[in-house]
Structure 1
């Protein structure tokens, strides 16, 4: 199953944007979103494409749902947004560091 992940648009350059996903910034394409997107808007990202603009009245609930799904499993959240291993992300207000695969065996 594939999962779209919500993120906040922090920068727009033509048909590309930078979105913040719990402290991890990723470039996303805006070609298929279907709505005008501005800095500060939230989108649902799938495979590097903003597939839906999240209506302002749904943002808080959407973020809460995703945070409850990920819980404390930062590794799963990083996998879903394609963040590099070893990155720090913010899940529910707490920073979570995820170690690179194949790390220390100590």
Structure 2
């Protein structure tokens, strides 16, 4: 099992892209999501996009992570 973090795809260059989360940009491997388009939300683990998710799921996941983070501070 892995923990995937939602990133928004802001650039795509063949099998690589740039994802953004809270203003931070990361290089992403897109081989497992060949249909991903700029603007899509991707579930990412260790720099590899695992699947395309909808915006609602992305926002709910990020909200849950933030709530957990707030609790452990």
TM-score grouping bracket, smaller chain normalisation = 0.7 to 0.9
1:37 aligned to 2:36? yes
Once residues 55 and 2 of structure 2 are traced to their aligned partners in structure 1, the CA distance between those partners, rounded to angstroms, is: 24
- The equivalent of 1:21 in structure 2 is 21
Paired with 2:59 and 2:42, the residues of 1 have a C-alpha distance of: 12
Taking the aligned partners of 1:7 and 1:57, their CA distance within structure 2 comes to 13
Shift in Å, 1:36: 1.3
Higher alpha-carbon Rg? 1
**Shift in Å, 1:57:** 3.8
Q: Deviations over 1:47-73 (max 9, x none)?
A: 110001112342322221222222387
Asked which structure has the greater RCO (Cα within 8 Å, sep 6+), the reply is 2
Structure number having the greater strand percentage: 2
Name the Cα RMSD after superposition: 2.1
TM-score of the aligned structures, taking structure 1 as reference length: 0.58
Q: TM-score, normalised by structure 2?
A: 0.79
